[in-house]
Amino acid sequence: MPPTNIKERLAFLRQELNHHAHLYYVEDNPIIADGEYDMLFQELLSLEKSFPQLISQDSPSQRVGSPALHSFAPIPHRHPMLSLENSFSDDDLRGFEDRLHRFLLDVDNFTYMAEPKLDGLAVELIYENGILSKAATRGNGQVGEDITANIKTIPVIPLRLQGAYPNLLEVRGEVFMGLAEFANLNTQRSKNGEALFANPRNAAAGSLRQLDSRITAQRPLDFFTYGISDPELLGAENQYNLLQSLQEFGLKINPLIRRCSSIDEVVDQYHHLMTSRADLPYDIDGMVVKVDNFALQQRLGNKARSPRWAIAAKFPAVQATTILEGVDFQVGRTGAITPVALLKPVAIAGVTVSRATLHNEDEIRRKDLHIGDTVLVQRAGDVIPEIVKAISSQRNGNEKAISMPTSCPVCLSELQRQEDKAVLRCINSQCPAQNLRRLIHFTSKAGLDIDGLGKKAMKQLYSEGLTQDIPAIYALKKEDLVHLEGWGEVSAQKAIRAIEKSKKTTLNRFLAALGIRHIGEVTAQLLEDTFKSLSALLEADSNSFLDIEGVGSQMAASLSTFLKDEGNRRTLQQLLDAGFVFSQARSKVSTHNLPLNGHVLLFTGKLSSLSRNEAKKKVKDRGGQVVSSLSKKVTHLICGEKAGSKLKKAEEMGIVILNEDEFQLLLQNDR
């Protein structure tokens, strides 16, 4: 038993150190010198070393990180972590208030909280009896990942609360990285020859999702809290008071939050934040507006994934001018040539931009771009930077026209324009650039998801001449990998095991992994349902593809070209010989009893709550059919953001049109 005075001394040191860390990091008002703090800290470390059984969860020594985990454990959220609906203008904000009034007819006037929307990662911190016991990412909103060890390394996050906290408190907030810290980190990484982070958000995400929290401890992360999972628990009447209480518990709240007594004030604050945003030491991508009163929040309730009582007022994209110095032409998996603008590096809202996508030749002509032009570039949130326009008044006559290549920049074969005229394509199926892209796709998450064979590894194996085609992956031996740069005994062994494991898959997944143009997961499933085995597919009459419901003419043509190619047939045979075994993805039950039987759905626009593929899978699991073009067969058009021309046509045809929320209801209600 350690002597009582040791226990007392340790408790004293912990309390002192936590208190001074709070004054230093949260209040920005230290009252002891750094040297004094270090001395107390050293004393704590040496006492804990002698009496490891006395190390407590809230000891500041826990902030240095602990050895690497194998994976993050799942943590279900007691209350779901919702997201927010977006608005983009003053009118949208007023529209938000109109909806509140329509919902709560008896309320004349709303008080709001306007809070900067930090561009970082949402996390939940669970305090049990005042001690930080668990921390989780948002995950899918229902279940997050256990990142406790990483969160503990963030100095502004208290390990122990102060004041009159409840027994259980689930704090929600945003972990982020400041702009100066981000720039420093990247400078350091560049010196060390490490890959740079694209923006502070990615840097924060990458740091927080480290399996080795000792690495997280080296990263300058910061945190603001903006709420708790269940406001009723604290008995606070409104968001404003809640934030005050959280601050009293020692948590950091954003100093730029404002309470507004009308929507006009909210709009003013939105403009104020938009203009002061450039001077802030961190990235914000908008302002969150919340109905302040919790009783009203309760009455307004939630929609499927977002509350009715809050909205995210996003800021318009940030722009800057720079010089278009050149154009690079990239070859994609299906041979499409994509022009990429090479820009004189320019900082846009704290992030250095040096490349922007140009999509295709039409886009270059439409924007009338020339090499040497001064161009306006914009970055909107996570979106890849894009060129808005050329500033023609800045031209001096030395600008050069951009000419599209006539031959493939990699294999030099002649390029062609096919049915989709905007796109230039390299049609040499043996083109090394396409080959590499196909290999990367095959092993990626969208393909067979072979652990250890990510993009970087595949590029390396390809340039080493080890995997020129897919069958070569299955001929790899541990000895081929062990001596390559960055590989070792363990990683090589793991990769070989993952390769072996990938041979047990479903025909559907395998076909989608091949990356045949127009043949995605959904069509692949239709092919599996129809042919059941790869050999049956290889023997099929290509005219029969069009008979499959859901397979259009482009898909059928692409599949038949692929299957007629001798090289491709050889590849498939080699893979069968390598020992691929296909199981059925799901037993082919009759779809008659399923809720979406008879529904034919077409998607348009971008969905925000799930990917297209997830959505398609959900529909198919419920017996529905998904098609890719508009026809009389279609029963429902599901519209995401930026729905295109399909929407107008579908309206004219009298097809049922559902937005994303209504689509979610269709999935739920029909069950």
Q: How far is CA 14 from CA 62, 66, 78, 644, in A?
A: 11, 18, 30, 59
Between 123 and 596, CB nearer to ligand IVH: 123
Indicate which single residue of 21, 75, 84, 387 sits in contact with ligand IVH (rule: CB under 6 A): 84
Stretch near ligand IVH under the rule CB under 6 A, chosen from 79-87, 100-108, 537-545, 549-557 = 79-87
Token readout for 42 is 């050293």
Shortest distance (Å) from residue 456 CB to ligand IVH:
29
Q: How far is CA 155 from CA 26, 60, 160, 219, 414, in A?
A: 9, 9, 12, 11, 58
Task: Return the SS3 of 36.
Answer: helix
- Is 562 a binder of ligand IVH (CB under 6 A)? no
Between 75 and 288, CB nearer to ligand IVH: 288
Distance (Å, whole) CA 48 – CA 44: 6
| Residue 438 phi, psi (nearest 5) | -65, -40
Shortest distance (Å) from residue 165 CB to ligand IVH:
21
Shortest distance (Å) from residue 75 CB to ligand IVH:
16
- Nearest alpha-carbon partner for 516 in 550, 547, 557, 552: 557
Between 83 and 491, CB nearer to ligand IVH: 83
- Is 117 a binder of ligand IVH (CB under 6 A)? yes
Indicate which single residue of 83, 241, 429, 659 sits in contact with ligand IVH (rule: CB under 6 A): 83
Element (H, E) at 450: none
Between 84 and 203, CB nearer to ligand IVH: 84
Shortest distance (Å) from residue 15 CB to ligand IVH:
31
Give the count of residues interacting with ligand IVH (CB under 6 A): 14
Instruction: Give residues with Cβ within 8 angstroms of 541, minimum separation 6.
Output: none
Stretch near ligand IVH under the rule CB under 6 A, chosen from 114-122, 154-162, 272-280, 577-585 = 114-122
Shortest distance (Å) from residue 114 CB to ligand IVH:
9
Distance (Å, whole) CA 615 – CA 230: 30
Between 231 and 595, CB nearer to ligand IVH: 231
- Is 122 a binder of ligand IVH (CB under 6 A)? yes
Restricting to residues 480-519, name those near ligand IVH by CB under 6 A.
Answer: none
Instruction: Give residues with Cβ within 8 angstroms of 656, minimum separation 6.
Output: 635, 636, 637
Between 317 and 340, CB nearer to ligand IVH: 317
- Residues 184 and 192 sit within 8 Å (Cβ to Cβ): no
Indicate which single residue of 6, 40, 69, 82 sits in contact with ligand IVH (rule: CB under 6 A): 82
- Residue 463 is which amino acid? S
- Is 351 a binder of ligand IVH (CB under 6 A)? no
Distance (Å, whole) CA 337 – CA 459: 19
Stretch near ligand IVH under the rule CB under 6 A, chosen from 117-125, 397-405, 546-554, 657-665 = 117-125
- Nearest alpha-carbon partner for 120 in 223, 197, 255, 254: 223
Distance (Å, whole) CA 523 – CA 23: 59
For residues 281 to 320, the per-residue mask of contacts with ligand IVH, x marking binding by CB under 6 A and - elsewhere, is -------x------------------x--x-x--------
Between 257 and 511, CB nearer to ligand IVH: 257
Which residue of the set 117, 252, 290, 616 is catalytic?
Answer: 117
Shortest distance (Å) from residue 310 CB to ligand IVH:
5
Beta strands in 302-444, from DSSP E residues, in sequence order: 310-314, 318-331, 337-348, 351-357, 370-371, 374-379, 386-390, 400-401, 415-417, 424-426
Between 294 and 531, CB nearer to ligand IVH: 294
- Residue 230 is which amino acid? D
Shortest distance (Å) from residue 467 CB to ligand IVH:
39
DSSP annotation string for 471-535: HHHTT--HHHHHTSTT--HHHHHHHHHHHHHTTEEEHHHHHHHTT-TT--HHHHHHHHHHH-SHH
Shortest distance (Å) from residue 200 CB to ligand IVH:
14
- Residues 597 and 624 sit within 8 Å (Cβ to Cβ): yes
Indicate which single residue of 13, 44, 118, 458 sits in contact with ligand IVH (rule: CB under 6 A): 118
- Residues 269 and 260 sit within 8 Å (Cβ to Cβ): yes
Residue whose CB is nearest to ligand IVH in the complex, by number: 122
For residues 140 to 179, the per-residue mask of contacts with ligand IVH, x marking binding by CB under 6 A and - elsewhere, is ----------------------------------x-----
Shortest distance (Å) from residue 118 CB to ligand IVH:
5
Between 263 and 356, CB nearer to ligand IVH: 263
- Is 273 a binder of ligand IVH (CB under 6 A)? no
Chain length of the chain = 671
445 is catalytic: no
Indicate which single residue of 110, 226, 487, 545 sits in contact with ligand IVH (rule: CB under 6 A): 226
Which residues pair with residue 637 across a beta bridge? 602, 657
- Residues with active-site annotation: 117
- List interacting residues with ligand IVH (CB under 6 A): 82-84, 115, 117-118, 122, 174, 226-227, 288, 307, 310, 312
